[in-house]
Amino acid sequence: MLTQRTSRKPIGQPLLSLIGRTPLLSLAHLERETPGVTLLAKAEWFNPGGSVKDRAAASIIHEAEARGLIHTGVTLLDATSGNTGIAYAMISAAKGYRLRLCIPTNANPQVLSLLRAYGAELTLTDPMQGSDGAIREARRLARSHSGEFLYLDQYNNPANWQAHYDTTAVEIWEQTKRAVTHFVAGLGTTGTFTGTSRRLQVFNPTLRAIAVQPAGGLHGLEGLKHLDSAIVPGIYDPQLPDETVFVSTEEAYDVLQRLTNEEGVLVGPSSGAALAASLRVAKTLSATRTPAVIVMIFPDSGHRYLREGLFGSSHDRVLSS
């Protein structure tokens, strides 16, 4: 006797539910030069928008929704240098929101292409003013068209750092089985460092929070800010870092090459800065025979930066048969 099969609709996951719960990578080959110190990296390019900024963007938009600030006729507005803009654009496309982004004219061409693909409206700003110029333009638009735009203001919005307090830090604590002793992250909007450090220091008051900045105002570390020469984000607490490590563009690029060649991990320049700082800290700890577990943030992959020739350009060689 034949029985009729019950028709079931396949169950999938909503795109935005994939934000967070990123893996923690072991950097076992690099660890060999720092005995006693474990090096781990949070692989944030596993987020659906390709970077750590998915967390903050989702939190900021969710908070605006909860407060009833997003309605028909309003356009979301913010300044960006890249990854947060992509996160905003992805989320806005998924939710059907209009989005205007202020971004420097000389931003990464791949980023600009992605933003346009998602349907974001772009206001291109003076390349000589960098991300600060984009911030000033977003503020001007918000003031002069207050009824048209909802200014999300990632640099001053507490929902930015709160995203990492609620998710990133908890994941790191659980993934390291409560063993993390040092946390390392670059400063851009400062949300990742601020939120993660605050929560990890609740879990472990002896944890050392190490901030990473470019060595100077003119640098090639996309996504990072040299705070002494830039608009300092309102969400940044200068008392929070136990140590600040300044990394040159050249040093960051050099360790990026090592990471790719020795670990097979391809990441962006801000990840290189975090790794360079972590290696410095690790060598000091190893030399003093201080056991440690260092967790660093790798904000995005290196695929968006291949056009800049960061990888392999100084190591190319012709092999004869």
Catalytic residue among 81, 270, 271, 301: 270
H-run or E-run covering 295: strand 292-298
Tokens of 59: 């939190």
Catalytic residue among 42, 51, 53, 225: 53
Cβ 254 vs Cβ 286: under 8 Å? no
End-to-end CA distance of the chain: 70
Q: Going by C-beta distance under 8 Å and a sequence separation of 6 or more, which residues neighbour residue 46?
A: 22, 23
Residue appearing with tokens 């903050």: 56
246 burial type by CB count under 10 A (0-12 exposed, 13-18 middle, 19+ buried): middle
Comparing CA positions, the residue from 267, 296, 281 lying closest to residue 34 is 281
Q: Which residues pair with 211 in a beta bridge?
A: 185, 244
Q: Specify whether 53 is catalytic.
A: yes
CA-to-CA distance for 270 and 184, rounded, in angstroms? 12
**Three-state secondary structure call for residue 56:** helix
Catalytic amino acids? 53, 270
